[in-house]
Chains A and B, each alone.
Chain A
Amino acid sequence: MLSAAESTALAISLKVALLSIVVALPFALALGLALSRLRFPGKSVLEALLNLPLVLPPVVTGYALLIVFGRNGVIGAWLSTLGIQFAFHWSGAVVAAVIMSFPLLVISIRAGFDGVDRRLEAAAESLGAGPWRRFFSITLPLSRRSVLAGCVLAFARAFGEFGATISFVGSIPGETRTLSIAIWELLNQPGGEAGLGRLVWVALLVGIAASLFAALLGRRSQANGAAHD
């Protein structure tokens, strides 16, 4: 079985990945909706910026996070006067995971919103439904599978995240040492293969469990959807 240090690393990874989705989802829904429904100046620039974390090497993103959110960083210095500090703290690993997985979440959600029949929204509006009601009773339920797919992708990206995390918050046992970082450390030790094999199996199991969970939810929502249609 896993040693205490190994299960701590697993717990940190799960905490960081799950929390990053909770944090990112409201923003991703809002941004996905804006990109799908609105036309505004600078839209393509915004889309390009959004995709930067996919394009840049993760260590560069991590270094950029350090420059912005570090204790001497542009925003970090201001935040630390409020007592909030990301660098070298596990919450910083959540920030890194949010940034790295955000594009995947938004791209999926936007595709889902694009696929919703606009006439249904128009019909709801003509019956007196306000924008919030239209969103929560028409747009969101009809694009739930894309939202779910985005969440699974984002979870996988956040769970496997290494480069940006170690550049931004380093590896502190019990604080920021995630499963990915623990695996990398074992790879750097001669004779680390035994522990390495164990942790890779754990990572595989988590990945498979996440995919199965998503498939199950997808099937159930499909069944519900069929009942409503």
Chain B
Amino acid sequence: MSLFRRIGPLLLLLASAAPSRAAELLVFAATSMKPALDEIVALPEAKTIAEIKTSYGASSALARQIDAGAPADVFISADLEWMDWLQQRDHVATATRFVLVRNELVLVAPAASKLELTLDAKTDLRGALGDSRIALAEPGSVPAGKYAKAAFGKLGLWPQVESRYVATENVRAALALAARGEAPLAAVYRSDAVSEPGVRVVAAFPADSHPPIVYPAAALKDHDSAATKQWLALLQGPQARAILQRWGFRDAASD
């Protein structure tokens, strides 16, 4: 009896904590989504759905965490490859999967740079680089780098770039090198260029020079609750669209 009196309040506390946990959503999203997604999460409409928590990281790291049992409800990947990888491993509620946004690949220079160039087979990148290097996200593994390598390859410019790039851990680090003037050029997403006043867009890569840059989103298997679906619907609604566009993303439906 006295034991119950002692731990009774604790049990009550645990019981009252349980329902609020049910109305909590954990969203795993690619780091490049952060500024836009933070705004969407802060919308009053989002708050009525559930308490939405976000965990940002590289799509690869997030996918491996989900595969290892991380309790995420929604995954927003910066490329198709890792969403497909999770889907093959049966972690995705396939019916809920859709393309949230597209992004564009652009070439940026430090804001103070006077450099002008157009991207085609005749572009003199070596001349533009001088004795320095172009900053790319790691072209073997990081999505932005893979797109950049494909685009330079399609344009016939990869031989000029191959021995003259510096690979970074993620696309934001490549952006920072250009913003600090350490690299005279960097290949980054339009959405990154929008959020960094230290750089200016020199040229956009032709859309057909690389695989389409799409951000798939989906509920994870056995996490497709009503709240999850409401949140996915909100992401596709007009308010979220406006926010995403303001941060440099393009509509999934375009082209």
Contact = CB atoms under 8 A, between A and B. Distances in A.
B81 A190 contact: yes
A185 B181 contact: no
A110 interface: no
Nearest to B168: A170
Interface residues of A, number: 24
B72 interface: no
B182 A172 contact: no
Contact of B182 (A66, A177, A185): A66
Nearest to A177: B167
Interface string A144-177: 0000000000000000000000110111100001
Interface string A182-196: 001111111010000
Interface residues of B, number: 25
Contacts of B64: 187
Contact of B167 (A63, A71, A170, A186): A170
Nearest to B166: A170
B141 A167 contact: no
A170 B135 contact: yes
B25 to A, nearest CB: 26
Nearest to A190: B85
Interface in A55-107: 59, 63, 66-67, 70-72, 87-88
B60 interface: yes
Contacts of B214: none
B138 interface: yes
Contacts of B169: 59, 166-167, 171, 184
Contact of B181 (A72, A169, A177, A192): A72
